[in-house]
Structure 1
Amino acid sequence: MKKLTFAVLWALAGLSAHAAPVTSLPGGVVLPMPELNYFGSGPLSLAPGVDWSSAYGDSVFGYSGAYGFADNGMWQGVTMAGTNDQVSTMTLAFGQAVAGVGAFFNYSPRYFGPATIAVYDANHTLIESTTLTFITDGGLNQGEFHGFLEHSPSISYFSMTGAYVGAADFTVQAVPEPGTYAMLLAGLGLLGIAARRRQA
């Protein structure tokens, strides 16, 4: 029984250190971005308890004009936030931690390489990161949704770095969907079965 308890605790500890990269957040809430056409570093409020800021003094927030991503096309009329720089980072900070976060992205890969997105806990400890590598056909308002989903609300910061990355339709999930709990319980069940077989 002690071995099983240790295995369960170890599994839970491992789960808290990683978030799953996702390409959708079913049940998530889209945070409407105000159309401000702001150039600067912020901070600015995206929603109550959700603040945007950037390390670059000429980033954009609530921008709806034409924004180009070179061979990956352009956005026009998409109210967005963008680093507006090849190396800088913009960040969403959550006053209350969330379980999932993501956005609709595009970036400029041909000249500036991949862009990186990451999530951090309240202590600024990295939970997970991933690199955007998708290529569009260069059309208007194209991109992909990317984000992260944790098993519990532990995401306090969402960062987006490099390659003139642009983000729209920021989406959050305050608590995990029931399916997330089901996967967690299934995993713990498998650990329990494996532990029993080893004892036998």
Structure 2
Amino acid sequence: MNSQLLGSMPRGLFARSIATIAFACFACGAHAAPGPNLLRDGGFDNAHPFWPEYPDLGGDVLDDWQTDDRSQDSSTAGADFFQNAVIADTTTHYGDVAGGSGASAAVMYNHASMWQTFSVGAAGTYSISWLDASAQTGRSYNKSLFDTSILVAYGLHYQVTLGGQVLGKFVAEVGQDFTRHSFVVDLAPGEYTLRFTGLDHGKISHFGGAGQYSLQQTTHIALFDDVTVAAVPEPGTYALMLAGIGALSVGAKRRRAHRG
């Protein structure tokens, strides 16, 4: 702080200014922004069409995340493109979902996985955070990808693992807007894989005289957005800052006492 500015302050204003700065720094420390995201495309904006000849169909492939191959537990009607998958899709296909970081999300259907491996360069405390949501109604899904005769959407149970260790199990409920989840973990330097895995299986109905026809009856959906892994600032940084401000305050009091 400029000494000329200090000299021009009325008596008592400097002490109040110091207290204000100290409070502001404490607030900054309590809500300090984490470091840069160690993951690529945590907002799921980078994708390419699964069917290049139908770029507007939806169900795109994530560019920066690995996913399981699209699959079905058993054969279904030709109008169903998959049963188990993670796709990049616009959130408007799933209703008026609020709270996301943008127009796109990773959408997990049933028993599927997505994962990404990242590197930690320095040992420390890291925050792992993401948003989840689900279809807003039982009929809110990308209808261009399925035979919609009887298909109803439900929420999805899923688990999150880091380096093979389970961080927790969660459920995205139908009608749920984007909701934040986070963990704080201590990590050593090295490579880690963050994985999201759906735990529910959809139901397929068979019909016809010999059960030769089939349609998906239920599907389970979770939307993911704003996935981050970032270093948590060390609290010692803010302690040193506050200590320096305290020293300034003591020095100011001594100067006032000397002048008095």
TM-score normalised by structure 2 residue count: 0.41
User: Cα distance, 1:144 vs. partner?
Assistant: 1.2
CA RMSD of aligned residues (A): 4.0
Following the alignment from structure 1 to structure 2, what is the Cα–Cα distance between the partners of residues 176 and 102? Answer: 12
Residue 37 of structure 1 contacts residue 60 of structure 1 at CA under 8 Å; is this kept in 2?
Answer: no
Matches within 5 A, 1:17-96: 26-29=33-36, 31-36=42-47, 38-39=49-50, 44-45=63-64, 52-57=65-70, 58-61=85-88, 63-68=89-94, 74=97, 78-83=103-108, 85-94=109-118, 96=119
Following the alignment from structure 2 to structure 1, what is the Cα–Cα distance between the partners of residues 47 and 179? Answer: 23
Counterpart secondary structure, 2:69: coil
Aligned to 1:12: none
Corresponding letter in the other structure for 1:117: V
| Shift in CA distance, 65/143, structure 1 to aligned 2, threshold 3 Å | closer
Q: Does residue 1:177 correspond to 2:233, yes or no?
A: yes
Residue 48 of structure 2 contacts residue 63 of structure 2 at CA under 8 Å; is this kept in 1?
Answer: no
Matches within 5 A, 1:151-190: 151-153=186-188, 156-162=192-198, 163-173=220-230, 175-179=231-235
Gaps of 5+ in 1: 1-23, 46-51, 121-125, 182-200
Following the alignment from structure 2 to structure 1, what is the Cα–Cα distance between the partners of residues 236 and 170? Answer: 24
Aligned residues, how many? 138
Superimposed CA distance per residue, residues 107-142 of structure 1 (whole angstroms, 9 cap, x where no aligned partner): 46983552222211xxxxx23321114657x26xx2
Q: Does residue 1:100 correspond to 2:127, yes or no?
A: yes
Aligned to 2:180: 145
Superimposed CA distance per residue, residues 170-199 of structure 1 (whole angstroms, 9 cap, x where no aligned partner): 2121x3431499xxxxxxxxxxxxxxxxxx
Corresponding letter in the other structure for 1:86: N
Superimposed CA distance per residue, residues 66-94 of structure 1 (whole angstroms, 9 cap, x where no aligned partner): 2438xxx74696321122x2111111221
| Shift in CA distance, 44/134, structure 1 to aligned 2, threshold 3 Å | closer
Following the alignment from structure 1 to structure 2, what is the Cα–Cα distance between the partners of residues 155 and 117? Answer: 17
Highest CA radius of gyration, 1 or 2?
2
User: Cα distance, 1:159 vs. partner?
Assistant: 1.1
Compare relative contact order (CA 8 Å, sep 6+) and give the higher one, 1 or 2.
Answer: 1
Counterpart secondary structure, 1:59: strand
TM-score normalised by structure 1 residue count: 0.51
Counterpart secondary structure, 1:66: helix
Following the alignment from structure 1 to structure 2, what is the Cα–Cα distance between the partners of residues 25 and 56? Answer: 39
Counterpart secondary structure, 2:120: strand
User: Cα distance, 1:44 vs. partner?
Assistant: 2.2
